[in-house]
Amino acid sequence: MMLVRNADVYAPAPLGRQDLLVGGGQVLWMGAEAPALPDILAATTVDLAGRRLVPGFIDGHVHVTGGGGEAGFASRVPAPMLSRYTRGGVTSVVGLLGTDDVARGTRELVAGINALREEGLSAWGHAGGYHLPPATLTGSVRADLAFIDCLIGVGELAISDHRSSQPTLDELLRVASETHVAGLMTGKAGIVHLHLGDGPRGLDLVRRALDQSELPPRVFNPTHVNRRRALFDEAIELARRGCCIDITAFPVADDEDAWSAADALVRYFASGAPRERVTVSSDAGGCLPCFDEQGRVCSMEVGHSGALAVTLRELLARGVALEDALPAFTSNVADLLRLPRKGRIAVGADADLVALDDDGGVTDVIARGRVHVRGGAVVRRGTFETQHT
């Protein structure tokens, strides 16, 4: 049992000063003033002294086994460890495979997801990877989603990218229909999370899929849509048609033909497109490569989940209200992924809680009712983490 006192709650809507009683990994009670608790409960108390308390961030695009591999086996990125997520306020992740869906497969992905669950994070994943036919455990996407608990969608399936399988419209529709039906059967997300490269075709394949099929727009979930400015304009129009688009919090140079995550979200709000149809993810553990004209890697960086908290701080510094910015990191993601106990602070919801300082920096993190970060210091680490990891 844990009593969280004096929290300025954004759920993500502002609720004002609240106390919360947490037990069994859930929020059991919330109100203006907690009653006295009997000693037999042995409840610990966390006093936030008026700091803002928000739902834990849901990072919907994470390479939990590591990514990369485009420049040889030595360029394969190691798997991020637990505190790489939690110290950035991330309490839930969705893992996936990228370019390398051969040396790293679905078995390793499911094992990595289950390992994070054992260490206290909430974690799910997508079947498949960049390529078609999709990497699966059972032989079909539909069966993977039906029988493997942690798999909730397909992705990241690459389009408009020289590393993709160059999928045709029929191939995309076949995968999307399998995923959609599996979602109906199981109550899972049932989405196809689409990696967008910087190719000139952009989102044309998705537009044609919407025009020529009966599949609902929510099935198609393009990510990295801020990597080119014209691509982002295309993505906004898809959001108007019912797709949920995903902005990536990767580094963007001042002279680059791209939008930073903060720039993209501000522009999305200004467009008037539905605010519930945009999310922000980090590409944590993934390689962020640059390619030369021959398609060879000439430089690379590595994504990290802390980019979500950095983006939120930037938005707040630019005058965006916390309650306006938060849904893209919390409730919008939960709704897209059909995770009803995530993304909000409410009685009965999972106790995934993040406290912010005056500048929006992460000070305290509670995941599934357990303290992972207190006063800015990591207090719960992964199995193989050292004090300096």
Contact between 336 and 221 under an 8 Å Cβ cutoff? The reply is: yes
What are the angstrom distances between the C-alpha of 162 and each of 193, 201, 285, 293?
A: 18, 11, 21, 11
Dist. CA 385–CA 296, nearest whole Å: 33
Hunting for tokens 């191939």 — which residue is that?
171
Hunting for tokens 């998705």 — which residue is that?
206
Q: List beta partners, residue 211.
A: none
Dist. CA 389–CA 87, nearest whole Å: 12
DSSP state of 148: -
**258 backbone dihedrals φ, ψ, rounded to 5°:** -160, 165
Q: Measured in Å, how far apart are the chain's first and last C-alpha atoms? A: 29
Query: Which residues are catalytically annotated?
Result: 283
What are the angstrom distances between the C-alpha of 257 and each of 163, 182, 252, 292, 302?
A: 20, 37, 9, 16, 20
| Residue 96 exposed, middle or buried by CB count within 10 Å (0-12, 13-18, 19+) | buried
**268 backbone dihedrals φ, ψ, rounded to 5°:** -60, -45
DSSP H/E element including 325: helix 322-325
State the virtual CA torsion across 318, 324, 328, 331 in degrees, nearest 10: 150
**222 backbone dihedrals φ, ψ, rounded to 5°:** -75, 140
Integer-rounded Cα Rg, in Å, for the chain is 20
What are the angstrom distances between the C-alpha of 236 and each of 135, 210, 244, 273?
A: 30, 15, 9, 7
Crossing angle between the packed helical segments 261-271 and 306-317, to the nearest 10 degrees:
50
Hunting for tokens 């950095």 — which residue is that?
310
